[in-house]
């Protein structure tokens, strides 16, 4: 029997037919059990342990960064707990020569890509030295303007294509970022140019306090990529193996010259939007918190690895202690960084300061020398 055609004037049926194409990719269920053998990634035991170690590292970094912020030793900070699989498993599928264009919540990926922890802390404190990157680090500083990194990533990706580089530009935004004009402009340009890009929407449910369902009528955020003519997929962002496998496939696709891919990861941030005054208890219920706590990416992956005999409490404790020590040394070095002066900010504005700026530099240098 021939498949019934969708009446193009039956708008509800047409929309439903599009929505049916976006099923969430999952490898591990909430109990750490494999539900899709065909999508199990080809990772060695050592690689699985390394991925788990990075996720534990990220959770500890989040806890310590939160504490340091409250002590006044860090500045701006956007919590990451809950998004370890979305962030670290996606980065795990990338190569060192791939170019990372992070948002302000993507500092864990940036550090894993090669940014020293000290510089990450300096960036949080607003210190100019936090933007002085090692020459071999293929990354830009975290973008504060929501969605602007998508446009930048499209340009970098086109550059990689024109130079015949077997690499991709990859970038992240949140569900709120997918409502920005820069989001569509970036994916549209990259799609039209078939540029080497992988775009991530980390759908953690809220753009600050605005719930995802109030931002857009789209059934999924992934399907927004269809408007730009690029393949798009939604993945369980609390499932490290699913995120890794989807990301690796997307990277392979882009490197082969097929153009960009858009990936929506369904994830959650356990903390506030940032530590700059947001109170998530005003817009999220305890029921929602409990629901997502049961999907914790560390618990799920920990169960899977423990049953394979690859993980233990001793291994995890060793990672935790090592991470705490690294953070302790990095924040000490950060505290010793030279304090910034107004004259420094003025000097950084131009390569050659115009007369009006030079006059201000002279004025502040005279004050600062007293």
Active site (catalytic) residues: 269, 273, 283
Report DSSP letters for 165-234, one per residue.
Answer: -S--EEEEEETTGGGSHHHHHHHHHHHHHT-SEEEEEEE-SEETTEEHHHH---S-SGGGGGGGT--EEE
Measured in degrees and rounded to the nearest 5, phi and psi for residue 293 equal: -60, -35
Q: Phi-psi bin for 101: left (phi > 0), alpha (psi -120 to 50), beta?
A: beta
In 10 A of CB 121, how many CB atoms?
Answer: 26
Residue 242 and residue 295: Cα distance in Å, rounded?
Answer: 14
Q: What angle do CA 211, 217, 219 make, to 5 degrees?
A: 95
By C-alpha distance, which of 296, 193, 213, 344 is closest to 254?
193
Angle 4-7-9 (CA atoms, 0-180°, nearest 5)?
Answer: 170
Residue 4: count other Cβ atoms within 10 Å of its Cβ: 7
* C-alpha 42: how far from chain center: 23
Q: Which two tokens stand for residue 14?
A: 């047409």
Q: At what angle do helices 297-307 and 240-253 cross, to 10 degrees?
A: 100
């Amino acid at each position: 029997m021939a498949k019934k055609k969708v009446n193009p004037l039956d708008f509800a049926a047409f929309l439903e037919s599009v929505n049916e194409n976006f099923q969430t990719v999952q490898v591990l269920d909430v109990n750490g059990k494999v539900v899709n053998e065909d999508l199990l990634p080809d990772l060695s035991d050592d690689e699985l342990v390394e991925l788990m170690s990075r996720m534990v590292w990220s959770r500890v970094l989040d806890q310590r960064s939160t504490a340091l912020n409250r002590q006044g030793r860090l500045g701006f900070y956007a919590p990451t707990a809950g998004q370890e699989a979305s962030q670290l498993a996606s980065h795990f599928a990338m190569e060192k020569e791939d170019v990372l264009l992070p948002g302000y919540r993507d500092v864990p990926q940036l550090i894993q890509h090669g940014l020293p922890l000290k510089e990450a802390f300096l960036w949080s404190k607003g210190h100019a030295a936090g933007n002085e990157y090692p020459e071999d680090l293929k990354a830009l500083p975290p973008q504060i303007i929501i969605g602007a990194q998508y446009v930048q990533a499209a340009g970098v990706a086109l550059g990689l294509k024109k130079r015949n580089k077997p690499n991709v530009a990859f970038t992240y935004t949140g569900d709120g970022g997918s409502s920005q004009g820069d989001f569509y402009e970036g994916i549209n340009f990259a799609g039209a140019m078939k540029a080497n890009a992988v775009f991530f929407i980390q759908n953690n449910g809220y753009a600050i306090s605005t719930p995802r369902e109030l931002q857009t009528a789209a059934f999924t955020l992934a399907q927004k990529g269809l408007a730009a003519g690029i393949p798009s997929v939604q993945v369980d962002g609390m499932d490290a193996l699913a995120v890794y496998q989807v990301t690796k496939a997307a990277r392979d696709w882009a490197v082969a010259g097929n153009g960009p891919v858009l990936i929506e990861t369904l994830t959650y941030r356990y903390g506030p939007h940032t530590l700059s005054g947001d109170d998530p208890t005003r817009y999220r219920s305890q029921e929602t918190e409990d629901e997502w706590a049961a999907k914790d990416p560390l618990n799920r992956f920990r169960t899977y690895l423990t049953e394979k005999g690859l993980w233990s409490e001793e291994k995890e404790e060793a990672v935790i202690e090592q991470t705490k020590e690294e953070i302790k040394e990095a924040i000490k070095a950060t505290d010793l960084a030279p304090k910034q002066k107004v004259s420094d900010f003025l000097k950084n504005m131009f390569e050659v300061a115009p007369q009006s700026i030079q006059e201000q530099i002279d004025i502040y240098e005279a004050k600062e020398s007293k």
